[in-house]
Chain A
Amino acid sequence: MQPTFASEKKSSKQALSDLEKIVSNEPNNTSAYYNLGLTYLESNSFGKAIWAFEKVLNRIPNDSETIDQIEYAYRELNNDLNYTPRLNAFTSGLYSISSNRWSIVAIISSVLISICIVLYKLNDADQFRKFILVVCFLITLLFSSSILLAAFTKEYQTEVNFGVAIKKNVQTYDIDSLITPKVLLEGERVKLLKETISKPPHLTNFIRVESMDKEIVFVRLEDIAFI
């Protein structure tokens, strides 16, 4: 399904519905997520807009236009939260190259290493052998880095480790499902924490998260959209 120019052809509600369908069918469609974020912005659903834009950054972490949109949404929310991207400029540059591309770099590097080994064995000249050794060392560095980056990028793009509060003043709870003074503001990004112990039955619809100020609390699942 193609993302549509919602504002040009269709009503906002219809556009939202269409775009939501597209992103559910095509989770990699960054254009659709971006357009969905804009449509949410226009309907003043800033928390949801931030979520949609964060989904774009999941694929293209150094997309400056999307970062601008998130900063705009934070300003509109005016709730004293400051947006800090999940990755710094250097890492976002590296992660903007997909896991598959890093995998291809790793495969090409392994081919080059093999060629270096063959050349080394075929030539007896000391100078040439030294040169080949240096080249081989550099390619091995590239090889190991690209494998690590392919793994990290895959984890960044596929693992759900963060969420965004999509409602105003999301109430938080402790392990006894009692309300805590901590309130998550709309648009606040939270880190999802892996459950080390099985949750008690009364917390089935809750998830443990770490807020931006490092406080660990439980929130209701429906109050959070997962990035």
Chain B
Amino acid sequence: MYKLLTILIVILGYTVLGQSQKVVLSIDPERADVGETFTITVKSYVQGDLEVDNKPSSFVPGYDIMNGMEQEINPSTGKVKTFYYLSQTGSIGEPGKYTIGPAFIKQGNKVYQSNTVDLTIEEKTQMTEHKATSAQINAGVFGVIQTNKNVIYEGEPVLISAKIYSHFEPTHLSNYKSYSIKGTNKQAVKNSQRIIITREKFNQSKLYAFEYDKNIVFPSGIGEFNISNYTLDLHRGYDGYSIRSNQAVVKVLPLPGAPPTDFIDGVGEFSLTRTIEAQKMKQGDVFKMNILVEGIGNLQNITAPKPILPEGLVVYGDPIIKENYSYNTHGAEGSVSYEYNIQVATSGDIKLPAVTISYFDPSNKKYIQSKSHVENIHVKGDESYAAQNIPQIQTLKSSTIEELPYSSARREPAVVKKERVVFGTPLFFTGIGLPLFTAFIFILIRRKKESTVDQATQNERVKQKITALKTSLSRIELAIHQNDDDVFFMGIENSLIKAFEIKLDTNDEHILNKIEIYDHLSTLNKTVLLGRIRHLFTTADQFRYGVPSSTESKQKLYSQLKDILIEINA
């Protein structure tokens, strides 16, 4: 019975709460400056009379009212639903926090109620006008660029708008070409194209003025950023005036000092909350931890916080990031949530330390830390999980391994010695140089040895020739005593040839002849010696071939031979 009742309550609750809301109230943007236009929209699935409660007395309705009917299809069920909408612009003249709504739709006897929306109205952002030239002012129709700040920090946004002055009440504008800034992320502020003309004093003159094309700009980097001019044609009825604004410069300073380790690249004002899925769980369970960063500034550029977890808790993968912010005159406002999947591999009471983030507050010019609460979780031990001793990543691997087109197996650990690169070291140059140097030394030694052998051979050859010459001379002397003419005259010729062979160092195979001796002496220009040698050879030939010779004439020829030998130093 109790079970049945519980099921009925759950079904009833689901039916009631699961119903989509019939009337939805929204305001865009939810933060605006005094006098700045915002849009209130009521969307309803029922048709009837509409009334919005709690509009503040300082609410000034705008002229833009839109209503209509649209249809939307539910992608999961395919059902088409008709809804009606009404939107109205307006502004509030007093700063403060307002709760607008609920809106009521009255259909017959039934009244459907919407949600309420909190609206923050801030003091009007003071804009600085960048100077106009005297020529522009004298023209009576001119435009200037205005910014909320001239000097900002890296990451801080700057609000930029065009402001147009004229001595007449303009009816419309055309051919507007916006200003541009190199290297920035430019986001249009809501309703920035709406024109509200006011009368303002400018240099003692009362002029018509209006703001146009308001953008929140996030310069990337540091240095001076030039805002180029904008151009437009301003009309009064059929008359048109061309306007070209001045240029402006915004200086971006680097963030001071070294940022804290938990700095998330945020510049503005941020806060942090952490929620965890459950306080009680079982060993091996995976729970979700959500870290929500809320605030205003460069929310679109912040990095994920780095939660510190106690031992036994493991974060899997990158966090799932959900962004919910919009741009207004102060930057990107809203929240970014980071959802971490954490597995508990241990058991017992575990304290989750506070998560911290740091951001830079440009108004106070310092880094500020925001931290979450410390959380406690109780993890019930699971013996089967502990026995397996295989953490979740193994399970994940086995479930995803089929998707991998190749092996995701780890490689065997290897002992890696510190390897010294040999190339270019003295060891390397010694290694390649030593063998080549040794070969070079070998060549040198070999060459020296060869020259020594050659010299010895030559010496031996000369020695042999000298011996032969001496032998020849001895034979000549013997032939004189024995009166052997053939041997004597042959000996004279041979001795002379031998002597020149020694002198010219001819090799053994080559036997000199008379002509070569004459040529040699002619080359040396020794004509006297040549004449004497020629005479000796001729005389010897004459005696050998018939002319009778005496011992005296032989002695004389022998003496001439010895003189010649002495002269040629043989």
**Interface-central residue, A30, A42, A45, A104, by most chain B CB under 10 Å:** A42
B292 to chain A, nearest CB (A): 21
What's the count of A-B pairs with C-beta under 8 Å?
A: 158
- Contact assessment for A173 and B183 in the assembled complex, using a CB-CB cutoff below 8 Å: yes
Stretch from A4-12, A80-88, A89-97 contacting the other chain: A4-12
- The main secondary structure of chain A at its interface with chain B is helix
Residues of B within 8 A of A177 (CB): 221-223
Give the interface size bracket for B toward A: 35 or more
Contact residues of A between 29 and 69, Cβ < 8 Å to B: 29-32, 34-35, 38, 41-45, 65, 68-69
Residues of A within 8 A of B75 (CB): none
- Contact assessment for B423 and A151 in the assembled complex, using a CB-CB cutoff below 8 Å: yes
Residues of B within 8 A of A31 (CB): 411-414, 416
- Contact assessment for B414 and A110 in the assembled complex, using a CB-CB cutoff below 8 Å: no
- Contact assessment for A114 and B439 in the assembled complex, using a CB-CB cutoff below 8 Å: yes
Contact residues of B between 310 and 326, Cβ < 8 Å to A: 314-318
Residues of B within 8 A of A118 (CB): 439, 442
Q: A31 CA to B411 CA in the complex, in Å?
A: 6
- Contact assessment for A202 and B436 in the assembled complex, using a CB-CB cutoff below 8 Å: no
Chain A positions 7 through 34: 1 when the CB is less than 8 Å from some CB of chain B, otherwise 0: 1101111110000000000101111101
Stretch from B138-146, B203-211, B388-396, B514-522 contacting the other chain: B388-396
- Contact assessment for B423 and A179 in the assembled complex, using a CB-CB cutoff below 8 Å: no
Q: A175 CA to B407 CA in the complex, in Å?
A: 44
Give the interface size bracket for A toward B: 35 or more
- Contact assessment for A68 and B183 in the assembled complex, using a CB-CB cutoff below 8 Å: no
- Contact assessment for A117 and B439 in the assembled complex, using a CB-CB cutoff below 8 Å: yes
Given A12-B393, A99-B423, A202-B222, check contact A28 B404 (CB 8 Å). Answer: no
B95 to chain A, nearest CB (A): 35
Q: A111 CA to B437 CA in the complex, in Å?
A: 10
- Contact assessment for A45 and B314 in the assembled complex, using a CB-CB cutoff below 8 Å: no
Q: Please name 7 further chain A to chain B contacts, defined as beta carbons within 8 Å, in addition to the given A11-B343, A12-B393, A179-B220, sorted by A numbering.
A: A30-B411, A68-B405, A106-B428, A107-B428, A107-B435, A117-B443, A179-B184
Binding site for B on A (CB under 8 A): 2-8, 10-15, 26, 28-32, 34-35, 38, 41-45, 65, 68-69, 72, 98-100, 102-104, 106-107, 109-111, 113-114, 117-118, 121, 143, 147, 150-151, 153-154, 157-158, 171, 173-174, 176-180, 202
Binding site for A on B (CB under 8 A): 182-185, 220-223, 225, 254, 314-318, 343, 345, 390-391, 393-394, 396-397, 400, 404-408, 410-416, 418-419, 421-424, 428, 431-436, 438-439, 442-443, 446
Can you pick out 28 interface pairs between chain A and chain B where the beta carbons lie within 8 Å of each other?
A: A7-B394, A8-B394, A11-B391, A26-B418, A28-B418, A28-B419, A29-B414, A31-B411, A42-B393, A42-B400, A65-B407, A72-B404, A99-B422, A100-B421, A100-B423, A103-B428, A106-B431, A106-B432, A107-B431, A107-B432, A107-B435, A109-B432, A110-B433, A121-B446, A143-B432, A153-B423, A157-B421, A180-B183
